[in-house]
């Protein structure tokens, strides 16, 4: 049982640190998203689209998780918002202590939305909370209909699932019917957006839903 | 440094067990592939195609790694070959001790090729050898050209990289030129096959290359 205990300790330490991160973010009125998905699901492109849709009205900062490179952070930096790169140096997921370090590098004033883009991984990323308000998982139709059932935890923990690359739907055997059926067994209340970043489909609807969540977060913060 | 030491111990234990697995497989004249890739890269479909191409000439067995389900093993079972399901119960990669258990459930007589399909993951799966002769990584063009540079270890350790879903190439911004350029910086000798399982492109070439490796393995075994 040794390995099991090590893992449990790691997760408990992480939980404490995630709660501390959440306290800080809450006190600054920042709504925080943990953005998840497979490698190549289209997380960074979706994030670029979102930023363009929201940045005139909403203060946005991004923490970019990656194993070794700063490729994604370089892309986000072009949107002229604050970005911090976190290199996990081979670890397959972000942990709360890494995010704590990144928060120290951000100017949290005038930020309404913080997006933490996690490492591309459908497994361990689901187990390590970072201090976020919600998790969003991006699933591209090219990955196949079977993914929610094969990787249930990450979908169960997501408030929103974005079905991405809808422009490729006709070229795949992805079944939206089966997807909705499976996703409902994993969570009655999971909100789904069908999106294409190339076809600019569903982005506006997704962005305005997030705007609503960010506004509710602000109001809740002011009441406290 | 505590965490680092735990990881090092885990990897050292795993290496010992992987070597023991390899000894067993070698003594039976079995050529073993560790099949890797993102969730949805198309590993199982590629494996189905390969089995159909090879099974008349070559004895094949499969070990299917998955978090919780037996979906993939059920698919492979339809090809009328021996399959063992390994459920990692949430662990994001297979380890050598799991494969050791699976080997005990297989009848290794008359097997020339064992394929171990790993959990869909480009990170940790690269660090845990299972006792295989070679690693093969499947990358679908819909995942994006940047993946080899972002997840270098798994590509560096692969003898073969299969560029899959070539039928979708025209619908993506995947650049084969950039891919080959990057893959050459990661390994001069990495063999690449461009494949489409839907279009039946490149499968025969890939299968006959594997057949050559399996035959060489047999000959090397007989010499010992």
Q: What is the pLDDT of residue B30?
A: 97
Sequential DSSP letters for B31-69: EEEEEEE-TTSSHHHHHHHHHHHHTTTS-EEEEEEESS-
CB contact under 8 A, B142 and A140: yes
pLDDT tens digits for range A123-174: 999 999 999 999 999 999 999 999 999 999 999 999 999 999 999 999 999 9
Q: Closest to B142 (Cβ–Cβ): which among A90, A127, A142?
A: A142
Distance CA B154, CA B143 (A): 15
Q: ipTM value, please give it.
A: 0.90
| Crossing angle of the two packed helices B203-223 and B43-54, in degrees rounded to 10 | 70
Question: Is residue A53 within 8 Å of A204, Cβ to Cβ?
Answer: yes
A164, β-bridge pairs: A140
| Closest residue in B to A171 (Cα–Cα) | B168
Question: Is residue A2 within 8 Å of A114, Cβ to Cβ?
Answer: no
- Collect all residues of chain B within an 8 Å Cβ-Cβ radius of residue A95: none
Sheet with A113-117, side-by-side order of all strands: A82-87, A60-66, A113-117, A31-37, A134-140, A160-164, A191-194
A79: nearest Cα among A48, A109, A46, A102: A48
Distance CA B37, CA B142 (A): 13
Using a CB–CB cut-off of 8 Å, the residues of A that contact B are: 3, 6, 10, 38-40, 66-69, 71, 90-92, 119-124, 127, 140, 142-144, 146-147, 149-153, 165, 167-168, 171-172
Q: What is the pLDDT of residue B152?
A: 97
Q: What is the pLDDT of residue B4?
A: 54
pLDDT tens digits for range A176-186: 999 999 999 99
CB pairs under 8 A between A and B: 100
Sheet with B60-66, side-by-side order of all strands: B82-87, B60-66, B113-117, B31-37, B134-140, B160-164, B191-194
Task: Please report, for residues A89, A118, B104, B122, the alpha-carbon distance to residue B38 in angstroms, rounded to integers and kept in the order given.
Answer: 19, 15, 28, 6
Chain A: closest CA distance from residue B137 (Å)? 13
Question: Is residue A50 within 8 Å of B134, Cβ to Cβ?
Answer: no
pLDDT tens digits for range B146-157: 999 999 999 999
pLDDT > 90 fraction of chain B, expressed in percent and rounded: 90
The greatest distance separating any two alpha carbons of chain A, rounded to the nearest whole angstrom, comes to 52
For B39-48, what is the mean pLDDT? 98
Q: What is the pLDDT of residue B81?
A: 96
User: In a mutagenesis test of the A interface, which of B142, B149, B155 is the best target, namely the one with the most A β-carbons within 10 Å?
Assistant: B142
Question: Is residue B119 within 8 Å of B128, Cβ to Cβ?
Answer: no
Task: Please report, for residues A27, A41, A78, B41, B169, the alpha-carbon distance to residue B144 in angstroms, rounded to integers and kept in the order given.
Answer: 38, 9, 20, 11, 10
- Collect all residues of chain B within an 8 Å Cβ-Cβ radius of residue A146: 71
Distance CA A35, CA A75 (A): 16
Q: What is the mean pLDDT of chain A?
A: 94
pLDDT tens digits for range B88-102: 988 999 999 999 999
Q: What is the pLDDT of residue A1?
A: 34
CB contact under 8 A, A149 and B69: yes
Chain A: closest CA distance from residue B216 (Å)? 34
- Taken in order A211, A212, A217, A221, the sign of the CA dihedral is positive
Q: What is the pLDDT of residue A2?
A: 42
Q: How confident is the model at residue B1 (pLDDT cuts 50, 70, 90)?
A: very low
- Collect all residues of chain B within an 8 Å Cβ-Cβ radius of residue A119: 123
Range of the domain at A33: 2-223
Burial class (CB in 10 A: 0-12, 13-18, 19+), B28: middle
Question: What pTM did the predictor assign?
Answer: 0.93
Chain B: closest CA distance from residue A142 (Å)? 7
Question: CA-based angle A29:A35:A39, to the nearest 5?
Answer: 160
CB contact under 8 A, A167 and B171: yes
| B215, pLDDT greater than 80 | yes
| A22, pLDDT greater than 60 | yes
Q: What is the pLDDT of residue A182?
A: 98
For B37-54, what is the mean pLDDT? 97
Q: How confident is the model at residue A219 (pLDDT cuts 50, 70, 90)?
A: confident
Q: What is the pLDDT of residue A224?
A: 62
Q: How many domains does chain B have?
A: 1
CB contact under 8 A, A38 and B120: yes
**CATH number of the domain to which A124 belongs:** 3.40.50.300
| Closest residue in B to A126 (Cα–Cα) | B90
pLDDT tens digits for range B72-130: 999 999 999 999 999 998 899 999 999 999 999 999 999 999 999 999 999 999 999 99
Distance CA A123, CA B81 (A): 29
CB contact under 8 A, A150 and B68: yes
Q: What is the pLDDT of residue B6?
A: 67
More confident residue, A9 or A54: A54
Q: Closest to A38 (Cβ–Cβ): which among B39, B66, B146?
A: B39
Strands A31-37 and A134-140: parallel
A84, β-bridge pairs: A63
Residues 6+ apart with CB under 8 A from B105: B84
Q: What is the pLDDT of residue B218?
A: 83
| Closest residue in B to A164 (Cα–Cα) | B142
State both tokens at B87. Answer: 């459920």
| B2, pLDDT greater than 50 | no
CB contact under 8 A, B146 and A122: no
Q: What is the pLDDT of residue A88?
A: 92
Chain A: closest CA distance from residue B36 (Å)? 13
Chain A: closest CA distance from residue B195 (Å)? 15
pLDDT > 70 fraction of chain B, expressed in percent and rounded: 96
| Closest residue in A to B37 (Cα–Cα) | A39
Q: How confident is the model at residue B223 (pLDDT cuts 50, 70, 90)?
A: low
| Closest residue in B to A141 (Cα–Cα) | B40
Distance CA A71, CA B86 (A): 35
Q: Closest to A71 (Cβ–Cβ): which among B119, B143, B150?
A: B150
Count of positions (residues) in chain A: 224
Q: What is the pLDDT of residue A98?
A: 96
């Amino acid at each position: 049982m040794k390995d099991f205990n090590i893992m449990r300790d790691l997760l408990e330490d992480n939980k404490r640190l995630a709660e501390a991160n959440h306290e800080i973010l809450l006190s600054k009125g920042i709504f925080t998203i943990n953005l998840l998905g497979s490698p190549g699901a289209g997380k960074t492109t979706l994030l670029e689209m979102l930023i363009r849709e929201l940045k005139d009205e909403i203060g946005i900062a991004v923490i970019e998780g990656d194993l070794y490179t700063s490729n994604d952070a370089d892309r986000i930096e072009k949107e002229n918002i604050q970005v911090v790169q976190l290199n996990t140096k081979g670890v397959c997921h972000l942990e709360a202590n890494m995010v704590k370090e990144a928060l120290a590098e951000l100017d949290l004033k005038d930020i309404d939305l913080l997006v933490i883009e996690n490492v591309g991984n459908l497994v361990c990323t689901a187990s390590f909370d970072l201090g976020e308000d919600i998790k969003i998982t991006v699933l591209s139709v090219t990955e196949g209909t079977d993914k929610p059932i094969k990787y249930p935890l990450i979908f169960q923990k997501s408030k929103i699932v974005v079905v991405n690359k809808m422009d490729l739907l006709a070229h795949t055997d992805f079944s939206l019917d089966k997807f909705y059926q499976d996703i409902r067994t994993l969570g009655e209340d999971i909100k789904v957006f069908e999106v294409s970043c190339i076809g600019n489909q569903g982005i506006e609807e997704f962005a305005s839903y997030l705007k609503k969540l960010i506004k509710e977060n602000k109001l809740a913060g002011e009441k406290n």
